[in-house]
A = this chain, B = another copy of it.
């Protein structure tokens, strides 16, 4: 039985900053809770003696200056924002675990040659603006400042308005980093899948990250009284959405690739009264795979099927692509390094793919990248009963620490 560590206490402290009561965690980008969590994290980082700054997008950069500060830095990090009614480990293990790894190295007298930088990425979750990994996209330059400026949340508020209200000032053009900024990026994360737990393994080293794709469908039919309009005269937008959701499921199941997943996670039906025929539906669909070809073929089928369904039902479609990114291949030498560190510590481990996507997907565009996975209970994530044990987290932090140690003196 391990005593409760400083890191475990901090994970609980951060979880308490939430818009929904425990065990749920809700911290939507630039909400009061997200802003409070940022301030809490900055205070922790300063207390540990690190230099803290926020870029104009709200990415927090927590830096331990090395002896040769002009060299590309070694980076780690993840996110602290959380979708409604999520858990306390997704993202947080990478941010607070990264802070803990840096503190342990400092306490042990490590003297980095390269600077070590912990990044808390802004808006990894797409909750507010419908696009995930906004902070890392802007850092990598895969989303332009002009595109970011057009983003609006469901209340019509812009990124510029919200980030400025949260104290993140300056031009979004300054967020993009040079390809010489970082020599490596290693992200610690819970697996968000069941494989490590089922195989009773301590550590997973990520070789590939699945290619995400997301789109929004605005379906427009015709409303009317549920009692009075005969079935054959209807143009019910929800029935079209129902058919499309089942089509998305079928396209994922029949893609030929075992890793394809498709989800209609956001569905809003209007006017939303029991006795009124749905005239408007907004549905957001997430579709991904490690195999880009299989994914894009399935997406083509969904597009064709959606047009057929809506044509037959007399529904107008507005199909908006939210993102459609290529998969990331992790840097083999970095994968090998993390694996050797896990093995040297006596931990069981395997190489694997990440089906969830992460800021690492975008960091991989600008520097060698890998991820360290730890097991989580039944693979649950994005729900209040998400759980990784203190022991599992400590092992992940230990591997991350050894990676940062070696990478920062090379």
Contact = CB atoms under 8 A, between A and B. Distances in A.
Interface of A: 83-86, 90, 125-127, 130, 132, 191-194, 210, 212, 214, 223-233, 236, 238-239, 241-243, 245-246, 249, 252-253, 258-279, 284-286, 288, 322, 355-357, 379-383
Contacts of A381: 224-225, 228
A374 to B, nearest CB: 14
A273 B265 contact: yes
Nearest to A358: B227
Contact of A227 (B127, B212, B231, B241): B212
Contacts of A241: 242
B227 A383 contact: no
A341 B146 CA distance: 68
Given A125-B273, A382-B224, A261 B132 contact: no
Nearest to A212: B227
A130 B272 CA distance: 12
A355 to B, nearest CB: 5
Number of copies: 2
Contacts of A194: 233
Given A228-B356, A231-B253, A265-B278, A126 B273 contact: yes
A275 B265 contact: yes
B379 A229 contact: yes
B382 A276 contact: yes
A212, A223, A227: which has the most chain B beta carbons within 10 Å? A227
Contact of A356 (B227, B243, B262, B278): B227
A266 B272 contact: yes
Contacts of A285: 274
A246, A382, A383: which has the most chain B beta carbons within 10 Å? A382
Contacts of A83: 271, 273, 275-276
Contacts of A85: 270-271
B262 A238 contact: no
B230 A274 contact: no
11 contacts: A86-B271, A193-B228, A224-B381, A228-B355, A233-B379, A236-B263, A263-B274, A265-B271, A267-B269, A276-B383, A279-B383
Given A83-B273, A224-B381, A265-B276, 17 more contacts: A83-B275, A86-B271, A223-B380, A223-B382, A226-B263, A226-B286, A227-B357, A231-B252, A233-B379, A239-B245, A239-B264, A241-B242, A263-B276, A265-B277, A266-B274, A267-B278, A274-B285
Given A231-B261, A261-B229, A379-B224, A273 B269 contact: no
A195 to B, nearest CB: 10
Nearest to A285: B274
B274 A286 contact: yes
